[in-house]
């Protein structure tokens, strides 16, 4: 969750029809969790598109630093993952 908070925490997300309201989490969450592949691609939840991407080879973005405001659970913020 901290990766999502770090990526979207400062966004002004409005009620419907905002991105989070009408797209599946796969569409907006993969970019917060994974680093794009060498071709700049990320999965998006579309089977035809995602079949060209080897998700197992994608690097995972590092977690936000301990104490970052992106952490919403105190024990995680102290670095106990």
Q: What is the pLDDT of residues 2-58, one digit of tens each?
A: 888 888 777 777 776 665 666 777 777 888 899 999 999 999 888 999 999 998 999
Whole-model pTM: value is 0.67
Q: Assign 60 to helix, strand or coil.
A: strand
CA distance 67 to 28: 25
Query: ω into residue 24 within 30 of 0, thus cis?
Result: no
């Amino acid at each position: 969750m901290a990766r999502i908070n770090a990526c979207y925490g400062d966004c002004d997300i409005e009620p419907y029809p905002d991105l989070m309201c009408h797209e599946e989490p796969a569409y907006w969450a993969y970019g917060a969790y994974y680093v794009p592949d060498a071709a700049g691609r990320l999965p998006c939840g579309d089977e035809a598109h995602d079949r060209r991407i080897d998700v197992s080879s994608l690097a995972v973005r590092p977690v936000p630093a301990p104490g970052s405001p992106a952490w919403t659970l105190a024990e995680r913020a102290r670095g106990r993952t």
